[in-house]
Each structure stands twice: as structure tokens, then as C-alpha cells.
Amino acid sequence: MQTLLLCACFCVLVLVLPAPYCGAPTAIPGAQKTALEPQHDDGDVKLATGYLERHYNLNNEALMGRGKRSLESSFTSELQDMQMFFGLNATGVLDPETLGVMRVPRCGVPDVEDYSLDQGTRWRKSVITYNIGQYTRDLPRSTVDSLINSALSVWAQASGLTFVRLHTQTADIMVEFVTREHGDLFPFDGPRGTLAHAFGPGIGMGGDTHFDDDEHWTAGGKGFNLYLVAAHEFGHALGLKHSRNPESLMYPTYHHSRQVSLLSIEDVTNINTLYGPSISLPQHFSGYAWSPQYNPWLSGALFPQRMQNKCSPDLSFDAVSVLGDGTFFFRERYLWIKHNEHAGIKEGPITNFMPKIETNIDAAFWVPRRSTAYLIHESMFWTVKGSRVRGKPRALSHFGFPVWVQDVDAAVHIAKTSRTLFFIHDIYWSYNENRRVMDNGYPKFISEDFPGLNTTINAAIHKEGFIFFFVDAEVYKYDFTQRQVVGVEKANTWLGC
């Protein structure tokens, strides 16, 4: 039976498995000392032997009866393969640099290229299901859900694949956090060492992805970042092998510091070879398609920020705006999206939804008749039209502001009057969207035209005939015709809290 071995940190290899190949390390007899150099102690020998058995097909037990010379020759040959894979001097000698690589936590799948009879293993469909069975003890379940979702989206963005979560044991990819012996013949080894492994596409255990719960899983830079490891392992679950390129996500060893774009050109080329290129990339949030198959996470960020507490009583927003069928809530570089008709909140770093925007958003507004949103950061703004961010950011002076205006606190469009109001400290402007010029007589004082609002406004949105002003953790419901505040609520209630 062919299966794909998962990796400790990032690997999945297709292997013919007549028997477990991840046996306990066994020290090579004294005859190896010539190849290993006399200065190495038994611990180094044991480490090297186990490493080569797991990742380079060294069959120590089968060679035991063939004599000392066969053992040494095989060890040297496999050690050279390992050194060549990692770009080391292929001396066949267990030097400190080689031992250093062997000690780096990694994926549990072999690195050798002759591990499979079928070099094109893939799923024969474009919609792949997944489920999370056992959770880790290190992170809240909601955080694990989001990180796994995000890791799958790395591949969805680059290919023609869609991932749908099921809550049954029949899902294509079963995600489990387990320890030691866990029923698949490939036991984990405790803290560090092998981090995770995954099986390649296929029936039964095909696609299943296991994480060693003896590791310390995190959503940040400490411990082992679940997003990075999961993205690597799901590459294996889709049929990809290990790469020799250190810039590739499919490189076997763990690195928490990665480039901004998680996938290298090699990774994208390889996934496209198996499943074809993405045909929906320009529409990745068109209409914000809130179907069960929708997955808004993209791979623009290094890894998702730690999930923010949307129900915190002190929650406030920098900007709030309708965009298409959703309401977008911006805070620093984080974003929540609430569909206007359906339950559920999508959230994550802004770059995961809009890769071009790598800053916080200070103000935002939506002009429905143009199906266009404007997102403002300091003295610049982006245009979001149709399905994506259009062009480069432009200067705020485009709206007719004097040169001394270098930022905006809040903005809101009133469709009935075709006016957009810009709030800056204690004054505001009125912009005529029909003529695309500022109205005469502005700026004016906010306190004069909006009695009851005597403070800086953080965000604003127009809904159901009212303007809702977000001020710190509170929201003021303002009746413009009566010129008074008619209600006050907490900002977090807008996220369902």
C-alpha cells in the first residue's frame, strides 16, 4: 500500500510501507567508527543512525548480518545523500555541521527522492474536505480552527482547490493532535525532533495530518507556530514532496522566520502542476461569497496574528464600513467581517484579505452607486472596487483637502444626499460625490452640527437612516434629522457579543 508519510515540521512523502520505517534509532556497531570519526560518542551515532533510518532509508537491521563493511558503506552513502540534500559538504563524515542539521526540529517524512513509485499522487477532485478530530491542549479551539483554516487557504489561493470543513470522520483530511504511538505505525518522539507528519492523497488514511502534542504549539513566534507547520504538512497531504530549496515552504526543517509570501515560486509551480492554477484569484473576495466553501484567509502574512477577543468590553474600532455584502471592522492591522444577512464572523490580519494593504486603516466609507469603497491610512487612500483593491494608493488631497490635512479620523457616506462626511479632530468636511468637490463653507465644528458629540470620532457608518458614531468602546446612534443622540451601545455588540 502506498501512503504519504507526514513530516515533523513540514513534510509528506509517498512511501511503499511494507513495515514501519520510523523504528527506534539503533547505534551502528563499532565498525562504523571509521566513517563517523572516532571523536563521536554513542549519542551522536545514535542520533545520526535514527535520522538516516527515518529520512534516508538506512536499513540498519537488514545490514547487520552482511558484515561490518556493508554497514559502514551504507551509512556513509546515506549520510552523503543527506549532506547533499541540505547543501553540506558531502564527505560522508559525521561532522559538527551535519549533526547540527540533524538536531533541528523537522517534518517526519523522508527526504529521499526514490520513496514513491508514483511521482504524481494527487486528489482526483478540486473540492477537498477536512475535519479536526483531537485538539491540542496549548491553544483555544477557535484559534486552532482559524490557524488550520488559514494554512489550507495558503494552497487554495495558489491552486484551483477549495477546502470545506466537515464534522464527520469521513473527511478527506483528518487533523489530529496526538503523542507517541497513535495507531499509524509512525510514532512521535516527544518534544522537538519530529513535529508532525501527513499521508499523501488516497483512501483511508490518505491526507490525514498528525501533530505531535508533546510539542508546544503557538500562534506566534515562540514554541512551534501551528500555522507554518500545518501549511507545510498540508502540502504533503496534497501530494507535494520535500524541497531542497531553503526558501520553499516544503523544506524539511522548521524555520519560524519566513518571507512575507509563504509560498516560493517553486511551491506555486509544483501545486499548479498537480491541480492547475487558481482560476478565482482575482475574485478572492468578490461579493465576499459567504458559502460554506468560502475561505477568506490568504497567505500574505507571515502567520495570522493571535486571535483578538472580539467580545472584550474595551473593544474599539479604527474604521467601520460596508463593503459589498459585508460590514468591515478595522482595528490596527486586524479585520473582522460580518455578513449583512448571515451569521458568523470572519477575522484575521488585513493582509490576509487584502494583500496589498500592509498598514492599519484609519477611516473607510462605501459609495454604493459606484460599488466602491475607500480605505484611508494617514494621507493616502486605497480604492476597493468590485472584487479587489485597485491600483496604488493615492493622496488624500484627491478629495480637495488643503495640504495641512494629513489624516482622517472617520468617514461616512450618506447615500440620500450623495455626501461623504470626513471627521478630523473637532471639525468635519462635506464632500459632494456627484460633483466630486468639497462643499462650500467647510470645515465646520462637529459639536455645532452634531450636538452631543464633543469628542474625537474613531469611526462612523450610515445604516437604516441613522449615523452610528464609534467613540472608543461605545457607539452613538445619531438621528441627523432631530440632531440628537438617540441611543448608546457597546462597540462589541456589533460583532454579536
**Would you name the residues annotated as active-site residues?**
233
H-helix or E-strand containing 138?
none
Which letter does DSSP use for residue 191 in this model?
S
Strands (E), 150-279: 162-165, 173-178, 196-198, 209-212, 217-218, 224-225
H-helix or E-strand containing 423?
strand 419-424
Backbone angles phi, psi at 389, to 5 degrees: -70, 125
Strand pairing category for 196-198 and 209-212: antiparallel
Closest CA to 491 of 470, 468, 477: 470
C-beta atoms surrounding 205 within 10 Å: 18
Q: On the CB side of 198, how many CA atoms lie within 13 Å of its CA?
A: 32
Bridge partner residues of 454 (DSSP): none
Return the SS3 of 83. helix
> Is residue 489 within 8 Å of 477, Cβ to Cβ?
yes
H-helix or E-strand containing 330?
strand 326-331
Backbone angles phi, psi at 186, to 5 degrees: -125, 75
Closest CA to 430 of 480, 417, 371: 417
Closest CA to 349 of 408, 391, 294, 308: 308
Cα–Cα dist 7/187, whole Å? 12
Dihedral Cα 393, 395, 400, 401, nearest 10 deg: 120
Q: Spell out a b/e string for 287-304, using b for 16 or more CB atoms within 10 Å of the CB, else e.
A: ebbbeeeebbbbbbbbbb
Closest CA to 49 of 112, 19, 94, 101: 94
Backbone angles phi, psi at 474, to 5 degrees: -120, 155
Backbone angles phi, psi at 122, to 5 degrees: -155, 165
Backbone angles phi, psi at 196, to 5 degrees: -165, 170
